[in-house]
Structure 1
């Protein structure tokens, strides 16, 4: 019996509920499985099922559904999208590796944001996390910090009882209570949690600051990616930007006005590193003989 099947059997014996949605994924971490079982293909049919094993805090990603929705295909490492995100991640990773010399504080904390809704920031967050997680010596923690309109749980088909808001609201909720390990050995998740009328105050609290310090310093090989609300729609993004070392501003090509982009950049003026990502462009960009087109981004 496979590791996944054992885990599912254990969940059943404890009366845990395995819920399914129409858009799901499968995931598990190296702390609970050996490297030889990093692929779940053929182990168990988890199509349209996201399994949350509360005793071990594991979720299983449906890679087929993820690829069908336009994300990086874990079975096709040479796809155009995978190559594009290799280009996107490299300066971010280089900044982390050289942080002692470049003076970037908390360089391993990366915020993905946009000026307005619909520019593709969640698409970029998930694909960037998947791409970095495939690095041999890097682990990734993907946090859904868009607490007003969370999207990562929906895209991954995850139904978690507790997330970031529960952690910030209740001192009794620990980091391990909200951490979800996945079947991609180097990827873990934290969901946004419940809606809260004082979410802005919770994100600007001392507990959130200490949380950012903890996840930045505890594991030197861990890169933390925050998917944030749009900068010009909610105040939470600017608060989160003050906690991280690097920011990626996603811009919808031929859609977002330059004045809007300028306003967003001004709000990020205190950040150590701000990079921009032109998204949804239909034009191919010739870089050293290679054509790159970002037409799929955000079409979810």
Structure 2
């Protein structure tokens, strides 16, 4: 595993997070072994050898909780395709589940190049996000998959029926309805959107309008300061939580 460094921008106001009541779902067991977690590009959180990485994600989670209220939606947006943004999104969602009173839902919003379901070795044959957006008959619960990690679920990107994916899908009524429904159904659920790269396409900017918090992921030694500044300029400064410098690329 490689090291990870991050910093958070100054928050305008620190808000306390309500202590949500426990739910039955928190007792769902983790079925993956440490080696299976590594094989799925998770940080094995019970492995002392990776304590520095676990603590890095735990600290980032704590900072997000400090600047946000209630169960928020976080957009994890990589500067470029080589940043390891999906790795950060996956493990940040995992870190949220370290608190047994909280659950996390990761949504793969990289419709052109989805990776989460294959990395986590999940059979996503029932479809995913794009199937819900295209078909009014698709039920939300049918596209939520278990990951083998307690209190962590995945909505994969899915596969389009039409083959012509547009960024405007993210601005549709169905997309807003989906996020509102997912957030309001469970008050202990924190949602993480795994975004396509920022530079070169409008998808991440459109997704940021649906999120409460934006975390930018830069490839350590790969993205220049100019790249990072150009990427950050796409987002509302009041939503911008900071930059994660990721070496796991």
Q: Same fold per TM (> 0.5)?
A: yes
Q: Which residue of 1 aligns with 2:66?
A: 94
Higher mean C-alpha displacement, 64-73 vs 115-124: 64-73
Q: Which residue of 1 aligns with 2:11?
A: none
Q: Which residue of 1 aligns with 2:57?
A: 85
Q: Which residue of 2 aligns with 1:57?
A: none
Task: Work out whether residues 103 and 189 of structure 2, in 8 Å CA contact, stay in contact via their aligned partners in 1.
Answer: yes
The structural deviation recorded for 1:65 is 3.1
TM-score w.r.t. structure 2 length?
0.81
Q: Which residue of 1 aligns with 2:205?
A: 238
User: Partners in 1 of 2:185 and 2:67 — Cα distance?
Assistant: 18
The structural deviation recorded for 1:38 is 1.5
| Residues 91 and 222 of structure 1: CA distance in aligned 2, closer, same or farther (over 3 Å) | same
The structural deviation recorded for 1:252 is 1.5
Task: Work out whether residues 134 and 186 of structure 1, in 8 Å CA contact, stay in contact via their aligned partners in 2.
Answer: no
Q: Where do 1:41-80 residues align within 5 Å?
A: 61=32, 63-68=34-39, 71-76=42-47, 79-80=51-52
User: Partners in 2 of 1:240 and 1:68 — Cα distance?
Assistant: 29
Task: Work out whether residues 119 and 252 of structure 1, in 8 Å CA contact, stay in contact via their aligned partners in 2.
Answer: yes
Q: Deviations over 1:166-194 (max 9, x none)?
A: 00000000111111134322111100001
Task: Work out whether residues 41 and 119 of structure 2, in 8 Å CA contact, stay in contact via their aligned partners in 1.
Answer: no
Q: Is 1:221 aligned to residue 188 of structure 2?
A: yes
| 1:172 equivalent among 115, 124, 137 | 137
Q: Which residue of 2 aligns with 1:38?
A: 29
Q: Deviations over 1:248-273 (max 9, x none)?
A: 00112222122211111111136523
Q: Where do 1:251-270 residues align within 5 Å?
A: 251-269=218-236
TM-score w.r.t. structure 1 length?
0.68
- Indicate the SS of the match to 1:248: strand
| 2:78 equivalent among 101, 114, 131 | 114
Gaps of 5+ in 2: 1-22
Task: Work out whether residues 215 and 242 of structure 2, in 8 Å CA contact, stay in contact via their aligned partners in 1.
Answer: yes
Larger RCO, structures 1/2 (Cα 8 Å, 6+ apart): 2
The structural deviation recorded for 1:137 is 1.1
Q: Which residue of 1 aligns with 2:168?
A: 201
Aligned length: 223
Q: Which residue of 1 aligns with 2:156?
A: 191
User: Partners in 2 of 1:183 and 1:156 — Cα distance?
Assistant: 9
Q: Is 1:148 aligned to residue 120 of structure 2?
A: no
Task: Work out whether residues 86 and 131 of structure 1, in 8 Å CA contact, stay in contact via their aligned partners in 2.
Answer: yes
The RMSD of aligned alpha carbons is: 2.3
- Indicate the SS of the match to 2:233: helix
| Residues 30 and 182 of structure 1: CA distance in aligned 2, closer, same or farther (over 3 Å) | farther
Task: Work out whether residues 138 and 223 of structure 1, in 8 Å CA contact, stay in contact via their aligned partners in 2.
Answer: yes
Q: Deviations over 1:31-71 (max 9, x none)?
A: 4xx83x7243xxxxxxxxxxxxxxxxxxxx56423325653
Gaps of 5+ in 1: 1-28, 41-60, 101-106, 281-296
User: Partners in 1 of 2:119 and 2:33 — Cα distance?
Assistant: 10
Q: Deviations over 1:114-135 (max 9, x none)?
A: 1111111111011111111121
